[in-house]
Structure 1
């Protein structure tokens, strides 16, 4: 009697997981991808701008020639060559400020995502929190960098002519703009009466220099306000977490309190320095034309 054969086993099927990434995962991955794309874009995108033969990386020579022609023209309007240089420099700073603003937003979102992860990992111990805290610190540094780039380029976009002035002294006495720079320094040293008698280019220089520093003044004041709020919140949060004596609560609150508080002091000093240049730009402009800023 034939022995019945056993049926072959059915092939093993590997279950296919069709789940989606948790929402919390996207809150970290999405800003991380944005930071990875925008960080190099801050440098690459503005540098790709062109205007005819003008290149943002080589504007010093055309600007010196245009500045000399502007000073000698005695007219308030920019000559055509200088107008093209200033317009390209404005677009350069505007584009770079836009990319920096997007990078700042992405870096802040990434910092907050890592901080939330660190908070959830607190129950697992200090070692479990370290990767998230390291990520938060790294994203925070990117945010600081993006903020500095944003402010610097807002200054350049608000006063493109003034932001090009440091290059007018390059080349020394042999420069095509040397005579114009020397006359501008003489007019600045002569006080308000000499200012009014000088070519209109000097008025444009003074106005642009004041506007350039007014942007940094506003940024410094906003930064001081934000840091002051963070200082108060940090102090209250640390004090609320303390469960023992008041002396221990003060010791726990002091480190987090001092860091933003020190930032407030630095921001206010920076604001004061730019306030003086905004209200009285002549001394600062004189220093710039002698090789300083």
Structure 2
């Protein structure tokens, strides 16, 4: 059982890295980060100068590609969470029945489950609002040519209310997308924060009320309680940071495109 779960986990990690490019190649061609960055720069220039809120065809294609890319990763990372959780459960059971050193690998599997959950959260966020995730590929301060001019105009529109670029339809859409991007993470992280907080309380209660003679059982509950509590704290910080980013979309967008 443990061997099968380890093999499944390794296969899913490999799929997470390679599957999106392979699955999307027939529709969009081979993945090339430089080509995507270049295409994104040209699409943003076209969008900014179009004077309309509607995405041009080139930008729509890129957004569709990034949506599907992260949707595939959502599916794979969901399976990773399940596999790592099952692996942690199997290892903890082995620890309770066999050698003490299983506690170390069981704890590692529990931590891997938390990390996989974090990866899943980020990919859900990127799938929900792929445009903002895509903007992270822009060269920002190192841009040149037409893109550098457009980014400069965007910064001017974001920082100077009297600027003619402040009312740009494209800028209005981008600010709305940034808000939505971070509110999505607030919803995800707040929900999981409550869940992990309750899980931590449950494990801690089991540790206190368990059989005084069951040393390994108490150790397992204590360890899982600490992991869940730390995860809840991290999710609390993530919720707060995402809420601040959503409430200050102009500042957040400046950070994305390069503040200067």
Same fold (TM over 0.5): yes
Residue of structure 2 equivalent to 1:129: 100
Residue of structure 1 equivalent to 2:201: 232
Q: Secondary structure at the match of 2:136?
A: helix
Contact kept, 8 Å, 1:60 with 1:168, in 2: the verdict is yes
Matched, 1:41 2:15: yes
Residue of structure 2 equivalent to 1:6: none
Q: Deviations over 1:7-31 (max 9, x none)?
A: xxxxxxxxxxxxxxxxxxx4x3443
Change over 3 Å in CA distance of 1:189–1:75 after alignment to 2:
same
CA distance in 1, matches of 2:146, 2:230: 45
Residue correspondence of structure 1 range 78-97 to structure 2 within 5 A: 78-97=55-74
Q: Secondary structure at the match of 1:177?
A: helix
Residue of structure 1 aligned with 2:242, choices 253, 261, 274: 274
Q: Secondary structure at the match of 1:168?
A: coil
Query: Which has the larger Rg?
Result: 1
Give the Å deviation of 1:71.
0.3
Contact kept, 8 Å, 2:21 with 2:30, in 1: the verdict is no
- Report the TM-score when normalising by structure 2: 0.84
Structure 1: segments with no counterpart, 5+ residues: 1-25, 122-127, 245-251
Give the Å deviation of 1:180.
1.4
Which deviates further from its counterpart, 159-168 or 66-75? 159-168
Residue of structure 1 equivalent to 2:89: 112
Q: Which has the higher contact order (CA 8 A, sep 6+)?
A: 2
Which deviates further from its counterpart, 61-70 or 160-169? 160-169
Matched, 1:179 2:149: yes
Residue of structure 2 equivalent to 1:223: 192
Q: How many residues align?
A: 252
Give the Å deviation of 1:258.
5.0
Give the Å deviation of 1:77.
1.7
Change over 3 Å in CA distance of 1:140–1:258 after alignment to 2:
closer
CA distance in 1, matches of 2:173, 2:193: 30
CA distance in 2, matches of 1:113, 1:255: 15
CA distance in 2, matches of 1:257, 1:38: 27
Q: Secondary structure at the match of 1:198?
A: coil
Q: Deviations over 1:184-243 (max 9, x none)?
A: 11111234x869963221122112211221222122212321221122122212212474
Contact kept, 8 Å, 1:54 with 1:85, in 2: the verdict is no
CA distance in 2, matches of 1:158, 1:119: 41
Residue of structure 1 aligned with 2:123, choices 148, 153, 157: 153
The root-mean-square deviation of aligned C-alpha atoms, in Å, is 2.9
Change over 3 Å in CA distance of 1:56–1:116 after alignment to 2:
farther
Matched, 1:141 2:111: yes
Change over 3 Å in CA distance of 1:194–1:159 after alignment to 2:
farther
CA distance in 1, matches of 2:221, 2:29: 58
Give the Å deviation of 1:70.
0.4
Q: Deviations over 1:143-167 (max 9, x none)?
A: 2232122111111111111112123
